Structure 1
Amino acid sequence: MAISLSTVLLAVTVPALAYWLYWRWANRRMLRLAAVVPGPPALPVLGNALMFLTNTTEQLQKIAKLFDEYGDYVRFWLGPELAIAVKNPTDIRTLLSSNKLNQKGPLYNLMKPFIGPGILSGGPTWRLHRKIVTPSYNKKSVQQFSKVFNSEAEQLVRVLRNKRSDTYDIYYDVLTCTTQCVCQTLMGLSKEDSMQLPNLTEIVRKTQSMYNLIFKRMTLWWLQIPFIYWLTGHKKQQDHFFRLIDDFTSIILEKRRKALKTEVVDEELRSVVDRLIQSGELNDQEIKHEMFTLFTTSQEAAAKIAAGVMMILAHLPDWQEKVYEEIQEVVGSSPVTESHIKELHYLDMVYKETLRYFSIAAFIQRTVEEEITINDSKITLPVGTSLIIPIHVLHRDPKHWEEPLKAKPERFLPENVKNRDPNAFIPFSLGPMDCLGRVFATAMIKTIVVHVIRSVHLEADGVIDDIPLEVAISVRSANGYQVRSRVRKEQNGVKANGVVHN
């Protein structure tokens, strides 16, 4: 006997409706608290997910428009998942410093196939693992790494001095430099060993593709369905990355484990790999996951920031001149030291403006583990809420930044800083889960920039506020970091303020 279409629809609709009613009853407090927060109307089942089905540049613009329309607190639904985005600087500090939000948000779960649960992605072990490796990132250790930073920066300068006068993307040359710095410090390898790592070039070149893949799954909900992920070929791409990462980390782990049997390494020079091995707290797979986490977040992010600093200097010749003169006065032709870095105030302003303009992370996400109130107790975030801190939007909020789409290092002059809410600038996040490598990255990036700017003069076409951006975990220039470089003049062996054509 044939079953009628109406019978089939009834059989599907009734259970779906029953489940929907049950879900609303079970989450009645969440729904009541969420209703207090302004936000766009949501569709049944899908919520507001369709809003974000666009390219990454437009996603940044759409998120900014939500805040323009609804204010500093915006509620939206990604399917049944409640997300509340907060842009108020005072509440951001309160939230990120709270022990009620010491768990990463669900989007970080999509990173775990690549890097496992741990320091970056969260999970039960993040605090222990972070404690083990933290000494390699403190000031004493970073001072010991200075010799490597200077040596690799000198190698980068040799490459740039041989460039023709054509425009090129400086990012890839800088990336080679930061990769070698990280291999010879945090990974604990010698120069020779790091140069001989198999697949290193492929891993470095394809890291951005890996980030793009992860970000696609974060923003395109259907790619979180395993069959569709496989059908579209993304699973095959992911498996290729897995093999590269496993081979790469296995070789480093083997080298360091073998070396530790005979080497005695000073405490300040111990690599994160050595610390993870000698702690006895992690198995090999956990070590490899954390190793790759710390490798890629150090060399790739630092290269973007350093390339961003150089591109901004190329677009702002007056600021490049200030930085150059300051370098000549403070550092001269000597290797860069920690004391030099502290005195390079103009460079620091350009560095901070780069961190504002190209946010290391477009946003961060936390899961609310206990209810917490914000906005002078007007809003309560319910348990299970995905808290979004939109760093990129915060760093371009006209309430805190005049002409936010322009690159203006003078924003960080002392007289301008004191008139701005300090929590409106959080490039390295805040609280117990903040960026582990801020001291390491700052020293490495500034050392590289000093060597480059005192040796070559940078130029660029167009204006900095016309540069399109894209986001794939971090924010980057969509068209790369395009500059031209010319070798600076030398007079009697002393670099002078001028350039000569190659």
Structure 2
Amino acid sequence: MMSEEILPAITAVAVSLPVFIYWLYWRWTHRRMLELAKLVPGPPAFPIIGNALIFMTRPEEQLKKIAALLDLYGQYTRVWLGPDLNIVVKNPADVRLLLTSNKVNHKGPLYNFMKPFIGEGILTGGATWRNHRKIANPSYNKKAVQHFTAVFNREATDLVKVLLSKDPSVTFDLYFDMVKCTTQCVCQTLMGLSKEDSQNVFLMDDVVRDTQGIYDVLFKKMTRWWLQIPLINWLTGTRKREMDIIKMLDGFTSDILEKRRRALKVEDVDEDVMGIVDRYILSGELTDQEIKWETFTLFTTSQEASAKIASGVLLFLAHLPEWQDKVYNEIVELLGPDDEPVTEKQVKELQYLDMVFKETLRFFSIAAMTQRTVEEEIAVNDGKITLPAGTSLVIPIHEIHRDPQYWDEPLKVKPERFLPENIKRRDPNAFVPFSLGAMDCLGRVYATALIKILVVRILRQVKLEGSGSLDDLELHVAISVKPAKGYRMKTRSRRLSNGVHRSL
């Protein structure tokens, strides 16, 4: 009979030997990657797990870890997460090179965690994203956006009424009123719904209310490796939460799809300005499931992101009365003080508003970071570093937007940094709010027009007052960047009782 002392040793060898053999095999088949990775500075990595221990922390601390590595190793740093090589690139010129290269034209593995919710497509990549984007693109172009401004103005009128009804002595979080407005704007334009239908979409209130919760689930899954183990995912209740979200999103998007299918049977829709759902239906190139996935993708990336940015612009104006004065006076001078609809062309003339808008995009990045997969070797850092095929490229947009090498006092809110003379002195590649290249933000023209029109219509009638100090503004940095305690402010009417505009 085998000794009880020998049996554990044999078992240990039986378990560890295949692991060791596989490790040797992996190193041989990835020798080119390992060779090139040595040329990139980074922390020492343990066998098998790499640098995973560094990132075993709270999700909101993950990007701080990346920032610390960049501070220590410079604008290029290497991180091994198990067998996955991640190279973080912070140099603005190389960021442009990489994001516009056809060698780096696929989303990184982090986006795979979104696929159970939105499938493969415009946001997550895969085989279909180019075609899906091509079909949707006309709904975001300048001609369509000019047509959509009538909806933006109409919904802005309703939002102003809500803000004027607030008690001027009470501080509130603007975001919740703003997102209701942007949701209606998106439903009546990109989704193609009538006003009546947009107010009666199945589960829409639940989806809008739970959007941040959905993002939190995704971010935790991305950053807590143990939640990627099926048993732990199930035991912690995360799997049930994921399935509840999928069911909710399916009900929401199914109703939108059904509403537009019924409408297309009786409506004549102008092809130049139709919404994305109609385009997908009429193309005949997507399954119903693909349409529903892209519907939610473009819905949430349009209404939620626009609400955050618009709220951020107004938050900064509330805290910077001199800039609120500049923007308001520019509106009165160029567009007039009367509460009339404004166009996309008119808001382009407002230079002070544009500076505050851009500073908001810098300070509150739409995406804190983006990830791509390197498909072919590509050199950076003047040829000193070559990114091997199979590498996950990480672009830390939030850190680039706060790099003191390019931004004076980067932690302060300073719209003047976007004055023409200041822009000339700065590397133009240090500002990448909408990403770059073929996979850049599809809705940048749409969102810019929507946000600026809402701000103009609000400032004409509403005076804003901040709560606390911008110097004490705590940020929540996850998938996007936002104020940890919300977009808090007070509002009151600009008009005196006799109807004359109040001077700031």
TM-score range, shorter chain: over 0.9
Indicate how the Cα distance of structure 1 residues 457 and 166 shifts in structure 2: closer, same or farther if over 3 A, else same: same
Aligned counterpart for 1:124 among listed residues 104, 123, 127: 127
Could you say which residue in structure 1 is the equivalent of 2:406? 400
Could you say which residue in structure 2 is the equivalent of 1:88? 91
Could you say which residue in structure 2 is the equivalent of 1:252? 256
Contact 1:76 1:83 in 2 (8 A): yes
| Partner Cα distance (2:440, 2:288) in 1 | 26
Task: Report whether the alignment pairs 1:422 with 2:425.
Answer: no
| Partner Cα distance (2:60, 2:252) in 1 | 32
Matched residue type, 1:108: Y
Contact 1:273 1:291 in 2 (8 A): yes
Matched residue type, 2:493: V
Matched residue type, 2:333: E
Contact 1:56 1:470 in 2 (8 A): no
Could you say which residue in structure 2 is the equivalent of 1:37? 40
| Partner Cα distance (2:157, 2:100) in 1 | 40
Three-state SS of the structure 2 residue aligned to 1:489 is coil
Task: Report whether the alignment pairs 1:104 with 2:110.
Answer: no
Could you say which residue in structure 1 is the equivalent of 2:445? 439
| Partner Cα distance (2:48, 2:487) in 1 | 41
| Partner Cα distance (1:421, 1:122) in 2 | 29
Could you say which residue in structure 2 is the equivalent of 1:349? 355
Could you say which residue in structure 1 is the equivalent of 2:277? 273
Could you say which residue in structure 2 is the equivalent of 1:470? 476
In structure 2, list runs of 5 or more residues that go unmatched.
Answer: none
Matched residue type, 1:388: V
| Partner Cα distance (2:210, 2:280) in 1 | 26
Aligned counterpart for 1:175 among listed residues 174, 179, 193: 179
Three-state SS of the structure 1 residue aligned to 2:47 is coil
C-alpha RMSD of the superposition: 1.3
Could you say which residue in structure 2 is the equivalent of 1:451? 457
Q: State the number of aligned residues.
A: 498
Task: Report whether the alignment pairs 1:208 with 2:246.
Answer: no
| Partner Cα distance (2:418, 2:497) in 1 | 34
1:313-337 per-residue CA deviation (whole Å, 9 max, x = no partner) reads 1111111111111111222222111
Indicate how the Cα distance of structure 1 residues 57 and 215 shifts in structure 2: closer, same or farther if over 3 A, else same: closer
Could you say which residue in structure 2 is the equivalent of 1:9? 12
Task: Report whether the alignment pairs 1:314 with 2:318.
Answer: yes
Normalising to structure 1: TM-score of the pair?
Answer: 0.97
Three-state SS of the structure 2 residue aligned to 1:83 is strand
| Partner Cα distance (1:493, 1:266) in 2 | 41
Could you say which residue in structure 2 is the equivalent of 1:150? 153
Contact 2:356 2:415 in 1 (8 A): yes
Indicate how the Cα distance of structure 1 residues 275 and 494 shifts in structure 2: closer, same or farther if over 3 A, else same: farther
Contact 1:57 1:469 in 2 (8 A): no
Per-residue deviation at 1:57?
Answer: 4.0
Deviates further, 148-157 or 58-67:
58-67
Three-state SS of the structure 2 residue aligned to 1:287 is helix
1:172-211 per-residue CA deviation (whole Å, 9 max, x = no partner) reads 1100000000000000001111111121111001011111
Contact 1:352 1:409 in 2 (8 A): yes
| Partner Cα distance (1:391, 1:284) in 2 | 34
Three-state SS of the structure 2 residue aligned to 1:114 is helix
Per-residue deviation at 1:56?
Answer: 4.2
Could you say which residue in structure 2 is the equivalent of 1:329? 333
Matched residue type, 1:378: K
| Partner Cα distance (2:415, 2:409) in 1 | 12
1:448-494 per-residue CA deviation (whole Å, 9 max, x = no partner) reads 11112222111123322321212331111111111111221247534
Deviates further, 447-456 or 272-281:
447-456
| Partner Cα distance (1:198, 1:256) in 2 | 13
| Partner Cα distance (1:268, 1:443) in 2 | 18
Contact 2:62 2:223 in 1 (8 A): no
Contact 1:57 1:468 in 2 (8 A): no
**Percentage of pairs with the same residue:** 64
Contact 2:344 2:453 in 1 (8 A): no
| Partner Cα distance (2:49, 2:125) in 1 | 27
Deviates further, 133-142 or 338-347:
338-347
Contact 2:494 2:501 in 1 (8 A): yes
1:26-66 per-residue CA deviation (whole Å, 9 max, x = no partner) reads 11110110010001122222222222233344333222221
Indicate how the Cα distance of structure 1 residues 283 and 48 shifts in structure 2: closer, same or farther if over 3 A, else same: same
Deviates further, 422-431 or 329-338:
329-338
Three-state SS of the structure 1 residue aligned to 2:44 is coil
Matched residue type, 1:131: K
Three-state SS of the structure 2 residue aligned to 1:185 is coil
1:418-465 per-residue CA deviation (whole Å, 9 max, x = no partner) reads 111111000000001100000000000111111122221111233223
Three-state SS of the structure 1 residue aligned to 2:494 is strand
Normalising to structure 2: TM-score of the pair?
Answer: 0.97
| Partner Cα distance (2:112, 2:61) in 1 | 24
1:92-117 per-residue CA deviation (whole Å, 9 max, x = no partner) reads 11111111111100000111111110
Task: Report whether the alignment pairs 1:298 with 2:275.
Answer: no
Could you say which residue in structure 2 is the equivalent of 1:480? 486
Matched residue type, 1:377: G
Per-residue deviation at 1:400?
Answer: 0.3
